[in-house]
Amino acid sequence: MSRKKWITPLAVVVTFLAFVASNGKVPTEMPKTRGAKIPKNNLQCYVCDSTVDGERCSNLNIGNKSLLMKKCEQDERTCMVKRFSYTTSTENSTSILRMWSLQRSCTAKCEHGCIVIGERTKLYACTACCNKTGCNTGKGAASMTSSSNPLLTIGLLAVSVAFIGESTLTLTS
């Protein structure tokens, strides 16, 4: 059998198998790869860290805030604000809540809320999440819960020791 003679029956068999596989329905569109099915991410968030960018990250009304707006990566579909703050207590009083760091960013995963650890010196790690362009303008979450995550507690404790150590060095210098 010559090559031209067997191509036509093969095309008929392949077409028939495709028809059977589609339950008798003629496909109206080309199959899409997984990447083609995921909608494009157009989310833009403010991205900054107050320890690097200073007051213009903490207060977006200072300077040109559009310079802090960044396009998020394809898998980052949430804007986030993370605030680290603390209070100190004595037997008679508790200080006001003092912020020492604020971070704004795009993220793939975000858990809204606050974690509080400590007794005399309380450390707060608060996170706020949103999913619209430019929505991460606040100062972090308002609700607070105690930490039940030991790794997060150890991480916050390490940050606080470094922060308190740095403050002590500054005061004694």
98/158: higher pLDDT: 98
Q: What is the pLDDT of residues 96-116, one digit of tens each?
A: 999 999 999 999 999 999 999
pLDDT above 90 covers what percent of the chain? 51
pLDDT, average across residues 24-53:
77
Domain range summary for the chain, segments of one domain joined by +: 3-37, 44-172
Q: Is the pLDDT assigned to residue 12 strictly greater than 70? A: no
The pLDDT tens digits of the residues spanning 131-144 come to 999 999 998 876 44
Task: Provide the edge-to-edge strand list for the sheet that holds 78-88.
Answer: 48-49, 98-107, 78-88, 121-130, 113-117, 145-146
Q: Is 96 exposed, middle or buried (0-12, 13-18, 19+ CB in 10 A)?
A: exposed
> Which of these, 108, 60, 52, 99, lies nearest to 80 by C-alpha position?
108
Which of 22-31, 38-47, 58-67, 81-90 is least confident?
A: 22-31
Q: Which residue has the higher pLDDT, 126 or 61?
A: 126
The token pair at 170 is 């500054």
Q: Is 133 helix (H, G, I), strand (E, B) or coil?
A: coil
> What pLDDT is attached to residue 152?
46
* Alpha helices per DSSP H over the chain: 3-21, 34-37, 50-53, 55-58, 150-172
Query: What pLDDT is attached to residue 5?
Result: 57
The CATH number that domain 44-172 falls under is: 2.10.60.10
Confidence class for position 41, pLDDT limits 50, 70, 90: very high
Q: How many residues does the structure list for the chain?
A: 173
Local confidence band at 51 (pLDDT 50, 70, 90 cut-offs)? very high
pLDDT band for position 171 (50/70/90)?
Answer: very low
Q: How far apart are alpha carbons 97 and 108 in whole angstroms?
A: 29
pTM of full prediction above 0.75: no
What is the structure's pLDDT at 157? 47
| Token output for 52 | 């690097």
Look at residues 115, 112, 35 and name the one whose alpha carbon lies nearest to residue 79: 112
Question: Predicted confidence band at 159 (pLDDT cuts at 50, 70, 90)?
Answer: very low
